[in-house]
Amino acid sequence: MAATFRRAMDLLYLLCVIVGCLALVLISAIIPWAVFTRYVLNSAASWPEPMAVLLTIVLTFIGAAAAYRLNLHMNVGYFANQAPPPFRKLLELLVQLLMALIALFMVVWGERLVEVTWYNTIAEFPFLSVGVTYLPIPIGGACLLLFIIERVWLGAPADHDQTTPAHGEAASVE
């Protein structure tokens, strides 16, 4: 069961990375279009800025879950690293429990935000529900919660990129 869960988390991680990268690529294409229409065509398009904001929401919440899984997020571990090993393990568990609390907050309150705004529309995109634009919050929270469960239950996943040394390790020269 543990191996199946790990494989499922690998697939979820891959999906989060693909969605986050796609959002980043689209943002990178939309912003130059906005600049082009404003300064070259002298007729600014109304949709690029709100679309970039919506894609940033996707990138932030889905991408953050993926970054958390491989411990690529910003963190300050200096004082925790100075603690004795048994105390360090307790601190790590405390951090995971606090992050699970944050993830649950995202799921519960994000779902409520989606529900409350479901029937509102965005002026630039009248076909798009505001609730849909907030879906990355509870989805990202659910992904984050699953990655935290994985870390507590099975430990941190192995970094699949063997070409880059782990944090604090020197690259070997062969």
- Owner of token pair 């100075």: 82
Q: Collapsing DSSP states into helix, strand and coil, what is residue 43? A: coil
The pTM (predicted TM-score) of the whole model is 0.83
Q: Which string of DSSP letters, residue by residue, matches 87-147?
A: HHHHHHHHHHHHHHHHHHHHHHHHHHHHHHHTT-EETTEEEEEHHHHTTHHHHHHHHHHHH
Contact between residue 83 and residue 61 where contact means Cβ atoms under 8 Å apart: no
Token pair recorded at residue 84: 């004795």
pLDDT number for residue 4: 95
Q: Where are the domains of the chain?
A: 2-74+82-154
Report the C-alpha gap between 148 and 98 in whole angstroms.
10
83-119 pLDDT, tens digit per residue, is 888 898 899 999 999 999 999 999 999 999 999 999 9
Query: Is 164 a residue whose pLDDT tops 50?
Result: no
pLDDT number for residue 160: 53
Mean pLDDT, to the nearest integer, of 123-150?
94
Report the C-alpha gap between 1 and 4 in whole angstroms.
5
Report the C-alpha gap between 123 and 75 in whole angstroms.
38
Q: Which long-range contacts (CB under 8 A, 24 or more apart) does 161-168 make?
A: 167/71
